[in-house]
Structure formats: C-alpha cells, structure tokens
C-alpha cells in the first residue's frame, strides 16, 4: 500500500472514530441557545412579578434586596418602550409590612394589585387604595379583569365578583374543598375557568377541581372531566391551566408533570406529553405555539406540546427563572433570581 493510500486510511479511521466518539457523547442536556437576552439588571432589587399591558407598557414589582429599616423598600418598575428603559419608583401602601403579590394593568395608569386585599392604583402604581374592605382572612390567589369595572378574584376556596370597580363584591362561588384556588383563565370576556387543588407532600399525591363560567363570572359550574371521572378518581392538582379559546385548553399536573389538552371546554382531556417539569411556568400563545421552563431551560413547542426544543439555556448559579409573562404578540419577559429581566422578541 502506498504512503498516500495509508494516509487516506488513517484519516478515514480518525474521522470514523471521531463520529463514534461524538455519538457516544450525545446526551439529553439542552443545546445552549439564547433566544432570550438580558434587558435589565439591578442588584439592589429583588424582582418578583412582571406583567405587560401590551408590547410596550409593562410593570415589575420589586423589593429592596438589602436589609434596612427604610420605609421605601417596595418598588414598582415601569416601561413604555418594551423594556428598553425602566423607571423605578417606590410605592406607598397602607400596611407598612405588606407587599403586593401580583399586579394587573388596566391602562391609562390604572392597575389592580392583590395581597391580603385587592388594591387599585390610578397613578401607575405609586399609590394604592384598598377596594375590598370587607375581605378578611387568607391571601388573594388570583384576579382577572373582565372590563374596567367588572373583576373576579379568587381567595381561598371562594370566588368574588364586583361590577362596580370594587365598591361592592358578591360571592359567586364557594366550595368546601380543602384546597385553594390557583388561577383564572378567561379566553374570552364571557367564558372563564378556575382551578383549585391541594397536595399531600408526604405521600406524593394531589387532588384538584376545575370550575367554569359562561356568563362573565356571575355563576360557576363544577366540571367532572374525563378520563378521571370514568376511573372514579379526582383530577390531580394542576401546576398550570390555560385556555387559548373557549374550547381548547392545556393543563399540567403536579407530581407526575404530565401535559393534557382539551378541545371541548374541559370535559375531556387527552395526554399530550409525559414530562413537563415546569413548576407551573407554562404558557401557550395559541393552540400550537407554547413555552415552558424548569428554571434553567426555556423550551418551545410548535405542535401543541407534542415535541419541544430548547429556546434558552443558562445554568449559571442563581440565574434560574422565577416567573414570567408572555404576550400573544410573541414577546416574552422573565425575571431571574440574579435580579435580571430577560426578554424574547
């Protein structure tokens, strides 16, 4: 064999060995892609809630990350250009030691916020007024704005509704279920869903319920969804539930991290994926396009949750994603433990 032929054989064997080596090293870790990028960071603030009214106007709740006795330790960040620039203001609150848990922008400087009570701001979050003085007891779990004066709020195992901007509230649903409501999902002004659940951490079990309204929250009906009904078991507690239309919705379960889909308004659910480890951070923009994150990786699907691929990856210490919001226009904003806001255009 000539020297040239011998060299060709050696090169071919080397390439073959390299191919085998690369194949053997292939693993299930996500490919480091970064379709999300940092747009803001403030080491003095702990960022914990983010909401956008539209693609330009957004809000972030924060508290001081340093321990001091200052009265100005609660902050609201606002942007009017999609997060390119942020204005930081402290907000005034009636209770000295209370933080807003979440906010719900309404437009024209009006925002609703929830903590133990429901609060309203008319000056872009600088000052707040209690609009639920009759509420006592447990913290508010979620709120949905139907229109400028009609809102529903989930508090413990109750749903309350106002049609006069919080002047009076009516109890529209109550259950003896031992858990608490988690989230509302209103795909349209009249049709909405709410889920309630409880977990048994010692035994790794959970139980949940779904209720539905078709009259803008005035009345609610308990659903008995399949396949759990036929199996004579309760639906598990849900880490996440969202409807993208009046009929089409998704839910992910606690403990076993399964993703289900319904196309008939929550009566029947079909298993879509066996492993959606998200701690509730799942969001579908339509029937096909959705995202979920485990804190380190953001995954995206374009086929309704059947297949997922990495859209963002960062395993740097303390960079895990805490919460997020995604808009139907495609933009996404997430808050990280190391006090950053990251964005996807």
Check: CB of residue 189 under 8 Å from CB of residue 232: no
From the list 126, 48, 128, the residue with the least C-alpha distance to 88 is 126
Phi/psi at 100 (nearest 5 deg)?
-65, 140
End-to-end Cα, the chain, rounded Å: 59
pLDDT in tens, 60-74: 999 998 755 555 789
Look at residue 34 in the predicted model and tell me its pLDDT: 86
Look at residue 137 in the predicted model and tell me its pLDDT: 61
Residue 315 tokens read as: 């395993």
| Dist. CA 145–CA 161, nearest whole Å | 10
Domains of the chain by residue range: 33-344
What is the layout of strands, in order, in the sheet containing 332-336? 37-41, 340-344, 332-336, 321-326
Report whether CATH 3.40.50.1100 matches the domain 33-344.
no
User: What residues in the chain have per-residue pLDDT under 70?
Assistant: 1-32, 67-71, 94-97, 133-138
Buried/exposed code over 11-24 (b: 16+ C-beta within 10 A; e: otherwise): eeeeeeeeeeeeee
Dihedral of the alpha carbons of 182, 288, 105, 173, in degrees to the nearest 10: -30
pTM: 0.87
Look at residue 19 in the predicted model and tell me its pLDDT: 39
Look at residue 67 in the predicted model and tell me its pLDDT: 58
């Amino acid at each position: 064999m000539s020297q040239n032929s011998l060299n060709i054989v050696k090169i071919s064997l080397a390439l073959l060995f390299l191919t085998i080596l690369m194949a053997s090293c292939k693993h299930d870790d996500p490919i480091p892609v970064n379709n999300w990028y940092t747009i803001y960071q403030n080491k003095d603030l702990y960022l914990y809630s983010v909401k956008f009214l539209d693609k330009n106007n957004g809000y972030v709740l924060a508290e001081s990350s340093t321990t001091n006795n200052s009265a100005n330790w609660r902050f609201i960040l606002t942007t009017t250009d999609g997060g390119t620039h942020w204005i930081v203001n402290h907000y005034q609150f009636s209770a000295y030691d209370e933080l807003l848990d979440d906010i719900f922008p309404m437009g024209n400087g009006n925002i609703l916020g929830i903590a133990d009570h429901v609060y309203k701001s008319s000056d872009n979050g600088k000052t707040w007024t209690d609009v639920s003085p009759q509420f006592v007891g447990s913290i508010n779990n979620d709120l949905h704005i139907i229109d400028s004066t009609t809102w529903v709020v989930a508090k413990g195992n109750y749903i309350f509704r106002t049609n006069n901007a919080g002047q009076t509230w009516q109890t529209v649903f109550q259950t003896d279920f031992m858990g608490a409501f988690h989230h509302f999902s209103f795909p349209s002004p009249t049709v909405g869903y709410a889920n309630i659940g409880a977990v048994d951490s010692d035994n790794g079990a959970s139980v949940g319920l779904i209720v539905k309204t078709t009259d803008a929250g005035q009345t609610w009906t308990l659903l008995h969804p399949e396949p759990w009904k036929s199996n004579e078991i309760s639906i598990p507690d849900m880490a996440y539930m969202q409807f993208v239309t009046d009929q089409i919705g998704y839910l992910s379960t606690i403990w076993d991290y399964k993703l289900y889909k319904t196309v008939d308004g929550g009566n029947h659910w079909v298993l879509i994926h066996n492993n959606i480890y998200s701690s509730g951070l799942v969001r579908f923009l339509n029937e096909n396009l959705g995202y979920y994150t485990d804190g380190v990786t953001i995954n995206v699907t374009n086929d309704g949750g059947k297949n997922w691929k990495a859209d963002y990856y960062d395993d740097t210490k303390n960079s895990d994603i805490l919460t997020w919001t995604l808009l139907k226009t495609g933009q996404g904003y997430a808050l990280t433990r190391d006090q950053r806001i990251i964005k996807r255009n």
